[in-house]
Amino acid sequence: MKRLRQIVTKAVIAKGKKRTEASEVLRPPHTPTSILGCWVINHHYSAKKEGKFVVVSGKFDVNVWYAFNNHSKTAVFTETISYKDKVKLHYRDEDIIDSNDCHVRVLQQPNCIEAIINPGGDCFNVVVEREFIVEVIGETKVVVSVHPIEFEEEWRFQDDDDDDDDDRDRKHDRKDESSSSSSSSSSSSSSSSVDSDSRRGKHGKFKDESSSFHL
């Protein structure tokens, strides 16, 4: 029979993602003639879990560079925009312990994708995009199989004394090989000397016989 245990651990228990395009109306102090540029800066945000949603609250500054007075003058108009994005959470597991610990990551910082002068000619219509992904960290349960300690793989240990013995054996083997090589060399030298003497002896005898022949 399997022995199963439940472990309670922290993990990401829910996620959510939302992309928003919001149109903002900005009214500058001068009647604009044309828009020369638009950018978004100083983005700040925070998040709070509410039920099955995470509400991301934040603000940013929209800067519009424009010309007025029949293109004879320019100015930069700045306005702070506040927002609240409600991100729906998606859960994968049912056996969880819910939590209010949520984290937000910005996939797309607020960015101007369109800026025009409205048909009335006195305001800007600015479209700003942004995108968030949220994660909720909570406690969940996992099931593991438990085995007795006898099932653990056996460890193999080697003592320092065994290492010393192995070193001594290796040194002894090397000495034996060296002695064997020396003996072989000596035998070869002796054999060469004997062969040389034998050849000299035969050659001397041949000379003697030749001398006696001439006499």
Q: Give the gyration radius of the chain's Cα atoms.
A: 47
166 in a structural domain = no
d(CA 215, CA 212): 5
Give the closest residue to 23 by CA, choosing from 124, 106, 132, 131.
Answer: 124
199 in a structural domain = no
What is the span of the domain harbouring residue 117? 3-149
- With contact defined as beta carbons under 8 Å apart, do 11 and 49 qualify? no
pTM to 2 decimal places: 0.62
Number of structural domains found in the chain: 1
55-102 pLDDT, tens per residue?
999 999 999 999 999 999 999 999 999 999 999 999 877 767 777 889
92 in a structural domain = yes
Q: Is 51 helix (H, G, I), strand (E, B) or coil?
A: coil
Per-residue pLDDT tens listing for the chain (215 residues): 568 888 888 889 899 999 999 999 999 999 999 999 999 999 999 999 998 999 999 999 999 999 999 999 999 999 999 999 999 999 877 767 777 889 999 999 999 999 999 999 999 999 999 999 999 998 888 888 887 766 666 777 777 666 666 666 666 666 666 555 555 555 555 555 545 554 555 444 444 444 443 43
First to last CA, the chain: 114
10 in a structural domain = yes
89 in a structural domain = yes
128 in a structural domain = yes
130 in a structural domain = yes
What one-character-per-residue DSSP string does 71-106 give? TTEEEEEEEEEEEEEEEEPEES-SSEEEEEEEEEEE
212 in a structural domain = no
Q: Is 92 helix (H, G, I), strand (E, B) or coil?
A: coil
- List Cβ neighbours of 56 (8 Å cut-off, separation of 6 or more): 45, 46, 47, 84, 85, 86, 87, 104, 132, 134
